[in-house]
Chains A and B, each alone.
Chain A
Amino acid sequence: MSLKGKAAAIGIGELKPMKEPGPTTTALGLMAQVTAEAIADSGLDKRDIDGLLVGMPFSDPGFIYPASAAEVLGLEVRMLNVVDIGGASPAGMIWRAAAAIDAGLCNAVLCLVADMNRAGDQRPPTVSVQREFESPYGNIGANCGYAMIANRHMFEFGTRPEQMAKVAVDQRANALKNPLATFNEKPLTIAEVLGSRMIVDPLHLYEIVSPVTGGAAVIVASPEIARRAKNPPIWLIGAGEYANHATITYAPSLTESPIKIAADAAFKMAGLERKDVDFVCPYDCYTITVLVTLEDAGFCKKGQGGPFIEEHDLTWKGDFPCNTHGGQLSFGQPGLAGGMSHVTEAIRQLMGRGGARQVKDASRGYVNGNGGIMSEQVSLVLERRS
C-alpha cells in the first residue's frame, strides 16, 4: 500500500492573518472565505467537493463539528471528520484525504482550518491527566515544553542561542517577500532576537510564534480531476505519521522526536533521498522546533542542527530554502491554519506561484507538521510533475 501519486493538491485559499479579529469575524466565517477562495482557485464547482476534513477552532469548539461546518458551507459530503492532532492536523489532513480518495470513497476533499485569537483567550481544557500531573506545577501551554527541549539540546550537543536565533532571522528575510506574512516589514538580526525579552529560558520573544486570526484551505483531488484542473497538480508522493507521547516529560527523549519515523516513512514512500527535495517547510512554533526537525528529518546528523543552520542560508535564494513564506514565526499562527501555512507554501512554490520568493526550479518539497510538544508528527513529500 502506498499513497504515492494517488492524489494531488489542486487549489488553495489562505487569508493574510489579522493581529486582532474584526468586529464581525467568526471562525466559521473565515472557513467560508478560504473555502470559496480554494474552490475558485481549483476551478472546481462547489458540488465537486465530496469530502471534508476540518480542524476544530479553539474559538468556537463543539462536538459533532464537521457536519456543522459542512452545513454552514452548504457542502454535501461522502466523508467528514475532525482531524485532531494539534499543529500536525493540516499535514495530517492531506494524506488522509489522499487515502480516502485512493480508497474510492471520494474524489475531491476540502482540508479546512481557521481560527481567531484574542489577547487573554482561554484555551479549552486539557485531558484529565494533564490537569492532574502538569498544571499544578505550571506545565501549562506549549512554551515551557519547547524551552526544556532547547535546554536539553544545549546540554547534550552544545547548541548555542545564536544558532537557534538564526532560524527566526533567515525566515524573516523570506517573510519580507511574502505579502501575506504578519511580520513582513522589517528585517531581523540575531542580536535583536537575543535582545528580545526572555519568556521561558532559553527562548526569547522573537523565537516564539504570535497567535493571530486567519484561515487556510487546500483541495486534494483524484488523479482524474487533477489532470483537468486549472493549476498544475501537486502530487502527494510520500507521507508518514508518528506519535509516542502527549506531554514531553513522558517522551522517550527530549532531543530525538517522532519526526524521524514520520520522515523516514515519507521519503521511503516517495523513493527519494533527502537531497532530492528543493526546499523544506518544517513546522516552526519555536526556533528550536526547526533545529530538531532538520536533525530528525535527516537533513543533518543528530546534534548538528546548530552548525547546520549556521552554515546554510535558509532564505528562498539560499542553498537550503526553509519556510520560504517566513514560517509561522513571521507569518503568524492563526490557530491550526499556522500548520497549514507550510502546506500552502509548498504548494505555491511547486505551482510556481512563489512570486518574489520563488525557489528556482522547485519541483519537490518536504513539509513537516508538528502537534503539541513535539508529539504528533506528519511528514509529507510533494511533487510537481512536468
Chain B
Amino acid sequence: MSEYLKPLPKPSPTSLPFWDSVRRHQLKLQRCSACHKFIYYPRTRCPYCMGDRLEWQPVSGRGKVYSYTVVRRASHRAFMDPYVLAIVELEEGPRMTTNIVAPPESVRVDMPVAVYFDDVTPDNTLVKFKPA
C-alpha cells in the first residue's frame, strides 16, 4: 500500500470522541441538552444557545448532497486525481464537508447519500458518503 500523503485530522480534546467513534465506524454527533440541536463540528459549547451540556448521540448517517464540486485541479499537491468534494446535509440537520465516493459524473445536488467510513490509514478513518 502506498503512503497516504493527504492531510489527516489531528483530533483536539474537544473532537476526540467524534474521531474515536468514527474509527469504530459509528457516526456520533453532539446534541445540545438545552436547545436539542445537533452540532457539527464538535464544540465545547453549543454555537446556537451557548449551552454547555452537549451529549454524544448516534445519528442516521443518511442525508442529501447540499452541493458539490469536482475538483480537477486542487490547491494541495497530494490531491492529484479529480475528486468529489461535497457538503452533505444530514437528516438530523447539520451539514458536513465530505467526499462522495462515486463516479464524479454521477453526482447531483439533492441526491440521497449514506455514510461510508473510509479507513484511509490503519489509524485514521474519514467520514465520506456514497449514493444511497
Contact = CB atoms under 8 A, between A and B. Distances in A.
A144 interface: yes
Interface string A118-146: 00000000001101111111111101100
A134 B97 contact: yes
Contacts of A137: 85, 97-99, 126, 128
Contact of B79 (A129, A134, A138, A199): A138
B70 A148 contact: no
A287 to B, nearest CB: 14
Contacts of A144: 69, 71, 85
A191 interface: no
B114 interface: no
B10 A131 contact: yes
Interface stretch (A20-28, A56-64, A244-252): A244-252
A175 interface: no
Interface string B86-114: 11000000011111000010000110000
Interface stretch (B1-9, B30-38, B50-58): B1-9
Contacts of B83: 138
A332 B108 CA distance: 33
B69 A201 contact: yes
A138 B71 CA distance: 9
A147 interface: yes
Interface in A135-179: 135-141, 143-144, 147-149, 151-152, 155
A79 interface: no
A199 B87 contact: no
Contacts of A152: 66-67, 109
A138 B72 contact: no
A141 B70 CA distance: 14
B8 A143 contact: no
B116 interface: no
A343 B19 CA distance: 45
B15 A132 contact: yes
A200 B97 contact: no
Interface residues of B, number: 35
Interface in B1-44: 6-12, 15, 41
Nearest to A152: B67
A155 B109 contact: yes
Contacts of A148: 67-69, 85-87
Interface in A92-134: 128-129, 131-134
Contacts of B12: 128, 132
A149 B104 CA distance: 17
A254 interface: yes
Contact of B9 (A133, A141, A248): A133
Interface in A24-45: none
A199 B109 contact: no
B74 interface: yes
B99 to A, nearest CB: 5
B6 A138 contact: yes
Interface in A286-302: none
A254 B66 contact: yes
A198 interface: yes
Given A198-B72, A200-B72, A136 B9 contact: yes
A172 to B, nearest CB: 22
Contacts of B126: 136-137
B69 A249 contact: no
Nearest to A142: B75
Contacts of B66: 152, 254
Contacts of B8: 136
Given A136-B6, A152-B66, A247 B97 contact: yes
Contact of B76 (A138, A202, A249, A254): A138
Contact of A155 (B74, B96, B99, B110): B110
Given A131-B9, A140-B75, 11 more contacts: A137-B85, A137-B126, A140-B74, A141-B75, A144-B85, A148-B85, A148-B86, A151-B109, A197-B72, A201-B104, A254-B87
Interface of B: 6-12, 15, 41, 66-76, 79, 83, 85-87, 95-99, 104, 109-110, 126, 128
Interface of A: 128-129, 131-141, 143-144, 147-149, 151-152, 155, 197-202, 247-250, 254
28 contacts: A131-B9, A132-B12, A132-B15, A132-B41, A133-B41, A135-B7, A135-B76, A136-B8, A136-B9, A138-B79, A140-B7, A140-B75, A147-B69, A148-B68, A148-B69, A152-B66, A152-B109, A198-B72, A199-B73, A200-B69, A200-B71, A200-B73, A201-B69, A201-B72, A247-B97, A249-B87, A254-B67, A254-B87
Q: Which 7 A-B pairs have the closest CB atoms?
A: A141-B75, A147-B69, A152-B67, A155-B109, A148-B67, A135-B7, A201-B70
